[in-house]
Amino acid sequence: MTTDNPYRALPSVDRLLADERLRPLGEGERPVVTELARQALETARTAVAAGRPAPTEDQLVESVLGLAEVVLRPSLRPVINATGVIIHTNLGRAPLSEDAIAAMVAVSGGYSNLEFDLEAGERGSRFVHLEPLLRQLTGADAAMAVNNNASALLLALSSLAPDREVIVSRGQAVEIGGGFRIPDVMRQSGARLVEVGTTNRTYLRDYEAALTPDTAAIMRVHASNFRIVGFTETPAINDLARLAHEHDLLLLDDLGSGCILDTTQFGLAPEPTVQESMAAGVDLAMFSGDKLLGGPQAGIIIGRRELVERLRRHPLARAVRMDKASIAALTATLLHYLRGEALEKLPVWRMIAAPLAEVQRWARRWARGIGEAAKVVDGRSMIGGGSLPEESLPTKLVAIAGDGGYVTDLARRLRQGDPPVVARIERDALLLDPRTVPSREAATVIRAVKAALSR
């Protein structure tokens, strides 16, 4: 039946909601779906008013389903990391241990003594929960943690060097992820950056020549996401400590990745450890919780007690403090180190320590499960995530060859699955690295690849 009034062709909200295709959205979501149906109809009326044809009922149902996909499905979702990048910044960096996850759940489902002293029965401090563990692990006098390492650096400079000079090697005035630059954060803190040396060579005498009555500190910034090789020179951290203390200055150390273990035991380049920093005489060191430490996002600050106390009292400390769930997860992570179980319990170190023969067994099992399209090839797993730049481990990859368009489409299908599987593409081949996939997810990856290939 036709009508001269195009608005009459639009169904009512109730009629639209009665469509069988909307029933799977469930009774619990009905109020939201009703509102989405109203939005779809309002959009349709606007289109009709602009002289466009009224959408069909099928088109309206598809519109509601599309809106529901955006509104009802969380944007932040778990994914399977088959890229071989162990600390993948875009995929959430370090996965947490089972103990860390359990600790987060335990304090999040009810109340906790986050800022309550159970012995005294009065207000306490959230800083007390982490300090004993960090002191024991690092040898520091005192410690605290904030929400990330950028915040730790900003807080330290704002507290200890406002309107004063901080000397940094020109090769260390770096930019890390997200456009975060050391010179920018120093300006924000009120400290004045003094660059010394050249991009590739800085000597102890360069620091000494730059000292003035306005100098508050010398700062080392570890190059955690790039490497300069060849004709290079930089003073040892203990030499910087000696120079700073001879002139009653502070030595600050931005360690970046926050390494506790000796990386050379895995065939990797040496990464400065937080224990070495403390032993060398650094006054205040800062590092991340979610890189090589293997915990939640955090900025950990360790060093002399009077300096840490000044940071705790600074107004910015409240703005960058950690929440209860992150404190619980970081506590569980630190306990793994104290108990000597980091290699077994922390996913990052478990992946790094996995023997090549074991990775090969996983890859062969995947290839058999996927079928003839899959071949096992040699490759490298990257450490990633602003840790051990350019360092990698030998691995075995599952490769599916094809022209550029084919493998690009295959990778897209895997990303659109549930759960999404993220792989990498090199030389007209889709590559999947079992090293970064927990064994419990292996069967899911095999099913996802087979489904993507069948399409």
pLDDT in tens, 427-440: 889 999 999 999 99
Report the distance separating Cα 394 and Cα 381, nearest Å. 6
Own/partner pairs, 18-27, CB within 8 angstroms, 24+ separation:
19/57, 19/61, 21/61, 21/65, 22/61, 22/64, 22/65, 25/68, 25/72
Fold category of 80-89+349-454 in CATH:
Aspartate Aminotransferase, domain 1 (3.90.1150)
What is the mean predicted confidence (pLDDT) over 410-434?
95
Q: How many CB atoms lie within 10 A of CB 207?
A: 24
pLDDT above 70: percentage of residues in the chain: 96
Of 320, 237, 326, residue with least CA distance to 289: 326
Q: How confident is the model at residue 391 (pLDDT cuts 50, 70, 90)?
A: confident
Residues 6+ apart with CB under 8 A from 294: 94, 96, 97, 333, 336, 342, 346, 347, 348, 349
Which residue has better confidence, 449 or 201?
449
Secondary structure of residue 441 in the 3-state scheme: helix
What does the DSSP 8-state code read for residue 78?
Answer: -
Q: How confident is the model at residue 178 (pLDDT cuts 50, 70, 90)?
A: low
Range in 186-195, 276-285, 333-342 with the lowest mean pLDDT = 186-195
Residues forming beta bridges with residue 242, ordered by sequence position: none
What is the mean predicted confidence (pLDDT) over 86-103?
96
Secondary structure of residue 435 in the 3-state scheme: helix
Say yes or no to pLDDT of 184 above 80.
yes
What is the mean predicted confidence (pLDDT) over 405-410?
94
77 phi/psi in degrees, rounded to 5: -130, 155
Range in 143-157, 191-205, 234-248, 368-382 with the lowest mean pLDDT = 191-205
What's the confidence (pLDDT) of residue 226? 60
Distance of CA 269 to the CA centre of its chain: 22
Which region holds residue 340: left if phi is over 0, alpha if psi is between -120 and 50, else beta?
left
Residue 94 has which token pair?
């370090």
What's the confidence (pLDDT) of residue 146? 98
Q: 97-345: which CATH architecture? A: 3-Layer(aba) Sandwich (3.40)
Domain extents for the chain? 12-72, 80-89+349-454, 97-345
Report the distance separating Cα 187 and Cα 180, nearest Å. 12
Range in 316-320, 389-393, 436-440 with the lowest mean pLDDT = 389-393
Say yes or no to pLDDT of 332 above 70.
yes
300 phi/psi in degrees, rounded to 5: -100, 135
What's the confidence (pLDDT) of residue 175? 66
Q: How confident is the model at residue 230 (pLDDT cuts 50, 70, 90)?
A: low
Say yes or no to pLDDT of 117 above 70.
yes
Q: How many residues does the chain have?
A: 455
Residue 33 has which token pair?
């779906």
What's the confidence (pLDDT) of residue 3? 55
Contact yes or no for 325/100 (Cβ under 8 A): no
What is the mean predicted confidence (pLDDT) over 260-274?
93
Q: How many CB atoms lie within 10 A of CB 339?
A: 11
Contact yes or no for 113/328 (Cβ under 8 A): no
Q: What is the pLDDT of residues 149-172, one digit of tens each?
A: 999 999 999 999 999 999 999 888
Of 347, 353, 338, residue with least CA distance to 260: 338
Contact yes or no for 342/334 (Cβ under 8 A): no
Residues forming beta bridges with residue 273, ordered by sequence position: 259
What is the mean predicted confidence (pLDDT) over 97-107?
98
Q: Tell me, yes or no, if the two domains 80-89+349-454 and 97-345 fold the same way.
A: no
What is the mean predicted confidence (pLDDT) over 76-92?
95
What's the confidence (pLDDT) of residue 224? 60
Range in 107-121, 173-187, 203-217, 295-309 with the lowest mean pLDDT = 173-187
Residue 88 has which token pair?
């993948």
Residue with tokens 């360092």: 391
What's the confidence (pLDDT) of residue 368? 97
What's the confidence (pLDDT) of residue 1? 45
Q: How confident is the model at residue 181 (pLDDT cuts 50, 70, 90)?
A: confident
What does the DSSP 8-state code read for residue 359?
Answer: H
Of 336, 395, 333, residue with least CA distance to 360: 395
Sign of CA dihedral 385, 392, 367, 361: negative
Report the distance separating Cα 209 and Cα 224, nearest Å. 27
Report the distance separating Cα 225 and Cα 390, nearest Å. 8
